[in-house]
Amino acid sequence: MGKSTGFLDYERETAQVEPPLERIRHFREFRTPLSLEVQRKQGARCMECGVPFCQNGELLAGMASGCPLHNLIPETNDLVYTGNWKQAYERLTKTHCFPEFTCRVCPALCEAACTCNVNGDPVSVKENERAIIEHAYESGWVAPRPPKVRTGKRVAVIGSGPSGLAAAQQLNRRGHLVTVYERRDRIGGLLRYGIPNMKLDKGVLDRRIALMKEEGVIFETNVDVGKDLSPEELKKSFDRILLACGAANPRDIQVPGRDSKHIYFAVDFLTSVTKSLLDSDFADKAYIPAEGKHVLVIGGGDTGNDCVGTAIRLRAKSVTQLEMMPKPGETRSASNPWPQWPRVLKTDYGQEEAIAVFGHDPRIYQTTVKEFVKDKNGNVKKAVIVKLEAKRDEASGRMMMVPVEGSEQTIPAELVLIAAGFLGSQSYVTDAFQVEVDQRTNVKTAAGAYETSVPGIFAAGDMHRGQSLVVWAIQEGRMAARAVDASLMDYTNL
């Protein structure tokens, strides 16, 4: 390492963030990165710890610890420190297809596992990666890499989210002819419509897609495979098929009044807003409106937070967010030691904005909805919420969150957004391809494998492993590409 005492010499610094009351006026990204010179000092903080848990990517206590892509993080940090930006880019992209996506939306599993995090602040790995990839784009190093030789083999990738794009890039660079099918009007899947523009500007996505097109990847939009195009037709034209359709079944809330108007799944709300923004800068009014409404968000994860931030930008009258689980502590508990993922209180950008606008945290913990109340026109107007407590289920022995009798409370709710997660793949796709699914409706494969029960058909991403992070989807896409390539060529060099 170039600076063995860097973690002692330099404090952690991160990008400048636009104040909440200013950034809620627009849907643009609101972080201003550090200069390259200042970022170099952040690279110097990597401490040559001997065992780099940051790049481990293993499951500890059911949660990932370190980067699932196994990025060579100490090496790239050192190259940042020494100013060898092109080498840093080349090193980073040995293991990573799209660092420009994860440096914006990943929760930084690498930083949570950083050894500096034991007694201080972790190395700013995520922002080091952003500096590397953005400088590489500005310098012209991120250029199309079409294969010199084509194998003549054809692969269809169904779904253009992070796993589908990663697999398509890898298989195309191997020399196979790759066509990506997307059921929506634009390429990107979750990256396009599931993540708001202020977290991931869609110009960043378009920039990468343009490169992939130049490399020879063919993209077909507005094609819903399983409906518009049958598996039989695909099998006639392609040697292998990779299913990367995501975990697109949202978990519902089945309580009295669920049939009220203006209750939506979070993904539908976010999609409508982003599509209207991209189509017309909201001039078409073709999005689910929140202006002047009391908004209730059910779910406390990243998607719930995105709904909070989006509703505030749409001028909601109030925003309340329900979380079923207890409020986490400010610091790690003894049962949650490093390098496990820290189960501590996290206040994300949406909650920060709600605090700035409304004067309080929007989250209510250990609470769920018991009933929705309609007005005379069938519109939701109120929600009856109830506190929860943990009790052990006698039959299964598992701890369950159950309602506390007599704790009901009624709150205003004129727009309800259900962000309670996803349940697995959509049956019309898995039924059409006749692939086996597991109890969670994820596409079933052998452990560590990606070929389904139907020979020649593979699966990757959330459709394969269940709802997860963008970084896991990219890793799944890369590994599935290896499996597809080996199936076609009897070996793989991916």
What is the chain's pLDDT, residue by residue, as a tens digit (494 residues)?
668 899 999 999 999 999 999 999 999 999 999 999 999 999 999 987 889 999 999 899 888 899 999 999 999 999 999 999 999 999 999 999 999 999 999 999 999 999 999 989 999 999 999 999 999 999 999 999 999 999 999 999 999 999 999 999 999 999 999 999 999 999 999 999 999 999 999 999 999 999 999 999 999 999 999 999 999 999 999 999 999 999 989 999 999 999 999 999 999 999 999 999 999 999 999 999 999 999 999 999 999 999 999 999 999 999 999 999 999 999 999 999 999 999 999 999 999 999 999 999 999 999 999 999 999 999 999 999 999 999 988 888 888 999 999 999 999 999 999 999 998 899 999 999 999 999 999 999 999 999 999 999 999 999 999 999 999 999 999 999 999 999 999 999 99
Question: What pLDDT is stored for residue 256 in this prediction?
Answer: 98
Examine residue 144 and state whether it is found in any structural domain, yes or no: no
Tell me, yes or no, whether 270 and 414 share the same domain: yes
Tell me the Ramachandran region of residue 202: left when phi exceeds 0, alpha when psi lies from -120 to 50, beta otherwise: alpha
Examine residue 258 and state whether it is found in any structural domain, yes or no: no
Examine residue 16 and state whether it is found in any structural domain, yes or no: yes
Give the chain's radius of gyration (CA, Å). 23
DSSP states of 399-420 = EEEEE-TT--EEEE-SEEEE--
Tell me, yes or no, whether 244 and 267 share the same domain: no
The pTM (predicted TM-score) of the whole model is 0.96
Tell me, yes or no, whether 287 and 371 share the same domain: yes
Tell me, yes or no, whether 209 and 131 share the same domain: no
Q: Which of 396, 418, 440 is the last residue of a domain?
A: 418
H helix or E strand, kind and range, residue 392: strand 380-392
Contact assessment for residue 278 and residue 186, using Cβ atoms and an 8 Å cutoff: yes
Tell me, yes or no, whether 406 and 452 share the same domain: no
Examine residue 256 and state whether it is found in any structural domain, yes or no: no
Write the CATH number for 195.
3.50.50.60
Write the CATH number for 89.
1.10.1060.10
Tell me, yes or no, whether 280 and 400 share the same domain: yes
Total number of domains constituting the chain:
3
Residue 432 has phi, psi (to 5 degrees) of -65, -40
Q: Which of 370, 391, 418 is the last residue of a domain?
A: 418
Tell me, yes or no, whether 222 and 363 share the same domain: no
Give 324-337 pLDDT, tens digit per residue. 999 999 999 999 99
Tell me, yes or no, whether 341 and 381 share the same domain: yes
Tell me, yes or no, whether 164 and 278 share the same domain: no
Question: What pLDDT is stored for residue 394 in this prediction?
Answer: 82
Examine residue 473 and state whether it is found in any structural domain, yes or no: yes
Question: What pLDDT is stored for residue 277 in this prediction?
Answer: 98
Tell me, yes or no, whether 299 and 330 share the same domain: yes
Give 64-73 pLDDT, tens digit per residue. 899 999 999 9
The rounded distance, in Å, linking the Cα atoms of 390 and 186 is: 43
Question: What pLDDT is stored for residue 233 in this prediction?
Answer: 96
Minimal CA–CA distance to 350: which of 311, 387, 405?
311
Domain span at residue 20 reads: 6-139
Report CA torsion sign: 209, 212, 218, 223.
negative
Q: Which of 392, 418, 444 is the last residue of a domain?
A: 418
Tell me, yes or no, whether 355 and 399 share the same domain: yes
Examine residue 354 and state whether it is found in any structural domain, yes or no: yes
Examine residue 215 and state whether it is found in any structural domain, yes or no: yes
Tell me, yes or no, whether 324 and 391 share the same domain: yes
Examine residue 213 and state whether it is found in any structural domain, yes or no: yes
